[in-house]
Chain A
Amino acid sequence: MHTSPPATVEAEAHENPALLHHFATEEQQRNAASLGMWVFLITEIMFFGGMFCAYLVYRYSYFGDFAAASSSLDLKWGTINTIVLIGSSLTVAMAVRCAQVGKLKAIVGFLIATIVLGVAFLGIKGIEYKQKFDENHVPGLAGFHLEGHVPRHADIPVNQQHAQIYFSLYFAMTGMHALHMIIGVGLFAYLTWKAYKGRYGPGYYTPLENGGLYWHFVDIVWIYLFPLLYLIDRHR
């Protein structure tokens, strides 16, 4: 509840130019922005949740074909990308921390590091997509073919339709994730510019904090995507 008396309202309104007219206090504004971001992330969970649901249904139904298709992904690049992305979450967290303690120059450095890592992730994803095109593992294209057999069943060849469904979900899920990464990189370019202008500091860092929350969310989605897509039945 907002129990702050109206008297302080007028006083604060003149103090901070970042305080928008319809908020009574800075605290109210910060809390609103933070809650808004969390609610937005809940909508994002539901958005990705639809695809995770489809994934689970088909993985349950077509497990052998999914395992075979999963094995065709390049584990090396997937692992490197996981490390890159976790590293970028660290740099974002550092940027927010620097804003809180007032190390204004370091904010810009950590934000640029985040952008570099984000772009590196997208580049590696691009290499992986290229591999899939070269290997004819792109669903819906005429030449689609996945060699091999269902794991531990040398006599059962991979069902091409089920493998296509795996790759449909693979491209849909990682593609939607990459789209969120691209939006995130654009967002951080904007935040870097603002940070360079000295906009953020211990007194005001809400956009940085919320941008960081978004980035961590995109990171967490990948933390789930990586084992679900890359690591099906790999322990053979």
Chain B
Amino acid sequence: MATAVLDTGERETYLNREYGIKAWLLTVDHKRIALLYLMGITFFFFIGGFFALLIRLELLTPAGDLVQADTYNKLFTMHGQIMVFFFLIPAVPAVLGNFLIPIMIGAKDLAFPRINLLSWYLYMIGGVLMLYTILAGGVDTGWTFYTPLSTEFLKTNVTTAALAVFISGFSSILTGLNFIVTTHRMRAPGMTWNRLPLFVWAHYATSIIQVLGTPVVAIAIVLVALERLFHLGIFNPSLGGDPLLFQHLFWFYSHPAVYIMILPGMGIISEIVCCFSRKRVFGYKAMAIALLGIAVVGFLVWAHHMFVAGISLYAALIFSFLSYFVAVPSAIKVFNWTSTMYKGSISYQTPMLYAFGFIGLFTIGGLTGLFLACLGVDVHVTDTYFVVAHFHYIMVGGMVMAYLGGMHFWWPKISGRMYPEGWGRLAALLVFVGFNLTFFPQFVLGYMGMPRRYWDYAHMPEFQVLNVLSTAGATILAVGYLLPMVYFLWSMRYGTPAPDNPWNAAGLEWTIPSPPTTYNFEEQPVVTWEAYNYDEIDQHREGVPVAH
């Protein structure tokens, strides 16, 4: 914060260039579209979170007293569908990726600005349909839409929920397509593939998954809807269909979708760790290849969700091996972040606290994933809280941590204001403590045998202590999530105006004003340096001439 403070009241930025509803709803500026996404995503995050709180409240006591069993089924279904399809998948790419990728590669916008706006509208149409589904009585298939439960037995709003997911899927496809073309075609002179920030590499890998995977779940969901509407038997065993085929098609997307959620987070963490360790990333090429490796191998592990569903033992063995194998590139990332910090001059600002949280929690989530890749252990803990805890360590402990870290890191650039650092650190601490208190007991519960998706455990009252801990943690977590929303909004009006580069960070986004102008760059930037050249930056800052 040493650099001079800019008077944001005078300068034209992307925020104050035009006012009014139309200037926002018809904008093709990637930065404004990112903010449109931010609003939608925040809204759905709190809706999904609200369902989660109701779930935790129900499980506070062994008896099923707060809600009925049917209501509970709807709560966890809608919690899952909203969080997966309307928060986790779009959150980082559509908000931070949208805002930052063109700037990071020195472009004025994404390759297809109007398609970018279209994907926001598709997301919102899907979201409105999801809200309609909720208000019209909800849906209780579980987020996975398993057949024939979803096609023959349930009388709830399965079709509208399916349609909502289908439409938002196209939003995801178009975002991925836009990022791929942008990364290939829009890079500034000198911004070679070897100089791309890992954030961009991460989104490139994510986009490949979005483009290859999402259409498959789209057609699977179309077939479910057709089966339901016209009483077909494509996935219905009583009509000659094969429910396992649906699971294969579903998980062919939905397992790689886990990597859609976590890879952008890894990109964020790479940026933050380098900046707050003042060091070049350890093993840049290995980091980029690991991202692509996760994207590729991640496509070959889907049937580990089906070990107990009746697939052949040979298939299970191969998928088990490949699931272990995907841990290799993931481990490379964790080791390289740690090595980046080694002998770095680390500072403990809010984004870095989230990065610490991410690395630890992602490691726990990843290692427990190895338990589940192991066939014998998986049979024991399938459909227990062990699985729930495992994927929440990746999704919430990993991805949401990274998202919040990224929001804090780039908030000065996005809003032109600093958030209050003290509150930021407090919220990061609350999120970390609340998260672990919520989900660590669930590992134990699952290992003891508590099944997921049950609304009461009256026959197992000994599970109550751990469930109470978990619910208590969830309330702390809720406070931790509400705080940033409050102080981000507060900072937009009362925050200290942000300098261009508050963290002395590397990357093109820090060379332009905060907040940027509509076309990002006054002149076409020409890149002559490697990514994360913190040694050069710090030598510059200390007035020492840069040694080449």
Contact = CB atoms under 8 A, between A and B. Distances in A.
A4 B184 CA distance: 15
A53 B250 CA distance: 13
Nearest to A3: B189
Contacts of A48: 219
Contacts of B136: none
A224 to B, nearest CB: 15
A42 B211 contact: yes
Contacts of A54: 223, 234, 245, 249
- The DSSP consensus for interface residues of chain B is helix
A21 B519 contact: yes
A119 B225 CA distance: 28
Interface string A1-39: 111111001000000000011101000100110011001
Contacts of B231: 140
Given A2-B187, A24-B524, A164 B214 contact: no
A199 to B, nearest CB: 18
Contact of A165 (B108, B213, B233): B233
Contacts of A24: 524
B394 to A, nearest CB: 24
Given A36-B111, A43-B214, A51-B219, A165 B249 contact: no
B41 interface: no
A208 B136 CA distance: 44
B476 interface: no
- The DSSP consensus for interface residues of chain A is helix
Interface residues of B, number: 49
B444 to A, nearest CB: 39
Contacts of B181: 32, 35-36, 39
A42 B219 contact: no
B245 A9 contact: no
A49 to B, nearest CB: 7
A154 to B, nearest CB: 22
Contacts of B115: 36
A22 B113 contact: yes
Given A6-B523, A21-B519, A39 B211 contact: yes
Contacts of A1: 187, 189, 192
B230 A139 contact: yes
Nearest to A65: B240
Nearest to B191: A1
Contacts of A165: 232-234, 239-241
A168 B228 CA distance: 12
A191 B377 CA distance: 59
A50 B249 contact: yes
A62 interface: yes
B180 interface: yes
Interface in B199-251: 211-216, 218-220, 222-223, 226-227, 230-234, 239-242, 245, 248-249
A50 B220 contact: yes
B24 interface: no
Nearest to A24: B524
Bin the interface of chain A by size: 35 or more
Nearest to B220: A50
Contact of B524 (A9, A39, A57, A164): A9
Nearest to B238: A161
Contacts of A43: 173, 177, 211-212, 214-215
B108 A57 contact: no
B325 interface: no
B234 A168 contact: yes
A159 interface: yes
Contact of A28 (B177, B185, B226): B185
A162 B181 CA distance: 43
A21 B187 contact: no
Contacts of B110: 22
A50 B232 contact: no
A133 interface: no
A39 B233 contact: no
Contact of B233 (A21, A49, A57, A161): A161
A46 interface: yes
A163 B51 CA distance: 43
B107 interface: yes
Interface string A64-98: 00000000000000000000000000000000000
A9 B526 CA distance: 14
B112 interface: yes
A169 interface: yes
Interface in B101-118: 107-113, 115
A35 B184 contact: yes
A40 B177 contact: yes
Nearest to A21: B108
Interface string B300-336: 0000000000000000000000000000000000000
A44 interface: yes
B177 A161 contact: no
B242 A172 contact: no
A159 B241 CA distance: 13
Contacts of A50: 215-216, 218-220, 223, 249
Contact of A46 (B212, B245, B524): B212
A193 interface: no
A21 B180 CA distance: 20
Contacts of B232: 139-140, 164-165, 168
A47 interface: yes
B186 interface: yes
B240 A32 contact: no
Given A21-B519, A54-B245, A62-B240, A32 B234 contact: no
A12 B47 CA distance: 49
Nearest to B523: A6
A207 B544 CA distance: 54
Contacts of B241: 165
Task: Choose among A22, A42, A140 the residue with the greatest number of B CB atoms under 10 Å from its CB.
Answer: A22
Interface string A165-180: 1001100100010000
A32 B216 CA distance: 25
A207 to B, nearest CB: 13
Contacts of A39: 177, 180-181, 211
7 contacts: A21-B109, A22-B186, A32-B184, A36-B115, A39-B180, A46-B211, A159-B240
Q: Which 3 A-B pairs have CB atoms at the shortest separation, nearest pair first? A: A161-B240, A50-B219, A47-B215
Interface of A: 1-6, 9, 20-22, 24, 28, 31-32, 35-36, 39-40, 42-44, 46-51, 53-54, 57-58, 61-62, 139-140, 159, 161-162, 164-165, 168-169, 172, 176
Given A54-B245, A165-B240, A168-B232, 7 more contacts: A24-B524, A32-B111, A47-B216, A50-B223, A165-B239, A169-B234, A172-B234
